[in-house]
Amino acid sequence: MNQTPVALFIFRRPDLTQRVFDAIAAAKPAQLLIVCDGARPDVEGEQSLVEQTQAVVANIDWPCQVHRRYASENLGCGRCISEGLQWVFETVEEAIILEDDCLPNPSFFTYCSEMLSRYRENTSVMAVSGTNYFDQQRFSEDSYYFSKYFWCWGWASWSRAWKHYDRTMKDYSTFRSEILPELCESRAEFRFHAKNFDRVAAGRMDTWDYQCAYSFWRQRGLCIHPAKNLISNLGFRADGTHTGADVDADAWNAELPTHDLGPLRHPAAVIRNEAADRYLTQHALLHPPKRRRTFAQRLRRHGVHLAKSFRKLSRPLRKAA
């Protein structure tokens, strides 16, 4: 049994939730915190999907203390997750965090638990990530490294780090002019980050994770990245909030394979791996790769679009009937 609390964020995708919940059940955490947003009244069929999703996590068949936070109305992605995380870290001191589309490798839980314990008192470390987009690139012989980048597809953290979270980004102007330039190695990198942070600070993106990166960067904090990828994102499809099929047609980072991390070999010092960050900046952010879809993937994607179009066309007919 894993003693580290696990927080699961769900909404309206019962099939994906089932796969992630099965992975959590195999780890048997002693505490499980479940956060669910409410359905939007103007979205046909969403209430039923929310109820089906909640039913997936209704029965816990291992010894476990369960906490639930189910919204009575729709809060939206940004509010639901940020307020849910606030509740999580008011309830427990540290937690492993998964969303309904982030499928973990079994070794993810042990890795997170060990990292949370090992760096609990090291305030320069803000989070533990389970994602490694390029695990074919080995930046050291250790099992993990320290990065400036916060990846939220399967992660873990402490309440002592979350206390710095500021969803409103109230000090953004100072951050943009003084801190962000220090963290960027080129004008292109600065422009990339500033463009995204500008959108979030202006309220043009309903999210929570950029504010987390902003909050951690204000502290010059570090994030732990595994040497092998431990999370496969299943959410690149039409019902994804930020990873919908229309938005990410290439989906180079969708459903990446995961690998067992094995016994951990620790770095000698808590120092940012600048070479790894430089590679991530160039190849994950500024010049992301393209991934050619297989025939089955293209068929599945077009099938989703055809089904979506058919539903739209059939609505007037159903109303007329």
- Residues 7-59 have pLDDT tens digits of 999 999 999 999 999 999 999 999 999 999 999 999 999 999 999 999 999 99
CA atoms within 13 A of residue 281's CA, in its CB half-sphere: 19
Q: What percent of the chain has pLDDT over 90?
A: 81
Confidence class for position 2, pLDDT limits 50, 70, 90: confident
Summary mean pLDDT of the chain: 91
Phi, psi for 186 (deg, rounded to 5):
-155, 165
DSSP classification of residue 29:
B
pLDDT the model gives residue 293: 53
Task: Identify the CA nearest to 81 among candidates 137, 33, 135, 114.
Answer: 33
Domains of the chain: 1-100 (3.40.50), 102-290 (no CATH)
CA–CA separation, 52 vs 14, rounded Å? 6
Residue 59 vs residue 88, higher pLDDT: 88
Q: In sequence order, what are the beta bridge partners of 128?
A: 156, 224
- Residues 226-272 have pLDDT tens digits of 999 999 999 886 665 544 445 454 578 899 999 999 999 999 999 99
CA–CA separation, 200 vs 204, rounded Å? 6
- Residues 274-314 have pLDDT tens digits of 999 999 999 999 999 876 455 555 555 555 554 555 455 55
DSSP classification of residue 260:
-
CB 211 within 8 Å of CB 150: no
Q: Is 188 left (phi over 0), alpha (psi -120 to 50) or beta?
A: alpha
Task: Identify the CA nearest to 89 among candidates 97, 77, 79.
Answer: 97
Phi, psi for 39 (deg, rounded to 5):
-70, 150
3-state class percentages of the chain: helix first, strand second, coil last, to nearest 5:
40, 15, 45
116-125, 182-191, 228-237: segment of lowest average pLDDT: 228-237
CB 143 within 8 Å of CB 227: yes
Please write down the HEC assignment for all residues of 262-310. CCCCCCCCCCECHHHHHHHHHHHHHCCCCCCCCHHHHHHHHHHHHHHHH
